[in-house]
A = this chain, B = another copy of it.
Amino acid sequence: MEAGRVLTERLLNEYIPSDSEDPRSLHTAMRYSVLAGGKRLRPILAQAAFEYCGGDMSRAEETVHRAMAAIEMVHTYSLIHDDLPCMDDDDLRRGMPTCHKKFGEATATLAGDALHVVAFELMARTGSIDVVLELARAVGTSGMLGGQMADIEAEGRAVTPGEIQEIHTRKTGALIRGSVRIGAILAGADPETLERLTAYGEKIGLAFQIIDDILDIEGDQTLLGKAVGSDSRHQKATYPAAKGLEASRREAAQLIDGALATFVEEEDNMLKWLARYIGQRER
């Protein structure tokens, strides 16, 4: 995973315009947020799916590497906008001031928008219309943005277990599932493999957000790099609130087991490793 993280950082550094290039303030804010660290889980999933499906490594630089940077940029843009005062109003992200705290709201709004554009540009530069459409589906109103909207609307009221599953599946699950699919599509995966990996992506995506909810209750603030307890302060709809902590833990574990079952009797691979990582993560 460390190699994937280092590769992602190199790609991001390469693909975001330099902060000495005009408009400097915008590029500076973009670089600040994108290069602030993070697990780089989504691009690593895309890379792992690409490799699992036998993608052509000699062309990785023009295909999956661009997609990896695009995915992480779109993820970062969503965090920047999510942290804005009119949304979650968060001051801290990955142990550092959030983008609007550091550069002001106008610059943060535009930096998010700009990362969104660069992401689609990079995805198009893979030469595959299919992955551009896949990214749009993952982050559009039936995916991430729909989930963010439902998440805000659910604040302060009790939600049913069905609703919270739907919110999490869209808000976080869609981009994780999309990352896996994008890597597989760029590798030219056959339909059966793509379908199996889609189911894998759905399971780890939902598990990821359930565990996020759990860590917000009992995680270590220093490891997480953000304040714990923010969900309850914001009266967010969470799995533990809707189903209880124990049932949430059990469901996350079942999802990870289900994801691992995708590869039953196959030798160890990165996608299996990543599913286990998500199940055990502490940050």
A212 contacts the other chain (CB 8 A): no
State in angstroms the CA–CA spacing of A107 and B149 once bound together.
Answer: 7
A34 contacts the other chain (Cβ, under 8 Å)? Answer: no
Taking the full assembly, how many copies of this chain does it contain?
2
Cα A106 to Cα B150 in complex, Å, equals: 11
Task: List, in ascending order, chain B residues with CB within 8 A of A152's CB.
Answer: 106-107, 110
Please tell me which one of the listed residues B22, B112, B117, B148 contacts residue A140 in the complex, with CB atoms under 8 A apart. B117
Contact of A145 among B117, B137, B141, B150 (CB under 8 A): B117
A96 within 8 A of B: no
Q: How large is the interface on A (under 10, 10 to 19, 20 to 34, 35 or more residues)?
A: 35 or more
Select one of B26, B81, B87, B120 contacting A146, CB under 8 A. Answer: B26
How far is it, in angstroms, between the C-alpha of A84 and the C-alpha of B22 when the chains are bound?
Answer: 24
In the complex, the answer to whether A26 meets B113 with C-beta atoms within 8 Å is no
Q: Mark A128-161, 1 if CB is under 8 A from B, else 0.
A: 0100110011011100011011101100000000
A260 interface residue, CB < 8 Å from B?
Answer: no
A133 with B125: CB separation less than 8 A: yes
CA distance A87 to B140 in the complex (A): 24
- Kindly state whether residue A127 has any CB partner on chain B within 8 Å: yes
Contact present for A136 and B124 (CB under 8 Å): yes
Q: Are B121 and A136 in contact (CB under 8 A)?
A: yes
Q: Report A10-61 residues with CB < 8 Å from chain B CB.
A: 17, 22-23, 25-27, 30
Contacting pair A23 B109 (CB below 8 A)? no
Using known A-B contacts A86-B105, A120-B132, A124-B132, determine if residue A114 contacts B26 with beta carbons closer than 8 Å: no
Interchain CB contact under 8 A, A141 and B86: no
Contacts of A124 in B (CB 8 A): 124, 129, 132-133, 136
CA of A112 to CA of B125, assembled, Å: 24
A148, B86: Cβ atoms closer than 8 Å: no
29 A-B residue pairs with Cβ-Cβ distance under 8 Å, sorted by A, are A17-B141, A23-B149, A26-B145, A26-B146, A26-B149, A30-B141, A81-B113, A84-B109, A86-B104, A86-B109, A106-B152, A107-B149, A109-B109, A110-B145, A110-B152, A112-B113, A113-B113, A114-B140, A114-B145, A117-B140, A120-B132, A121-B132, A121-B133, A121-B136, A121-B140, A124-B129, A124-B133, A125-B133, A129-B132
Residues of A within 8 A of B (CB): 17, 22-23, 25-27, 30, 81, 84, 86-87, 104-107, 109-110, 112-114, 116-118, 120-121, 124-125, 127, 129, 132-133, 136-137, 139-141, 145-146, 148-150, 152-153
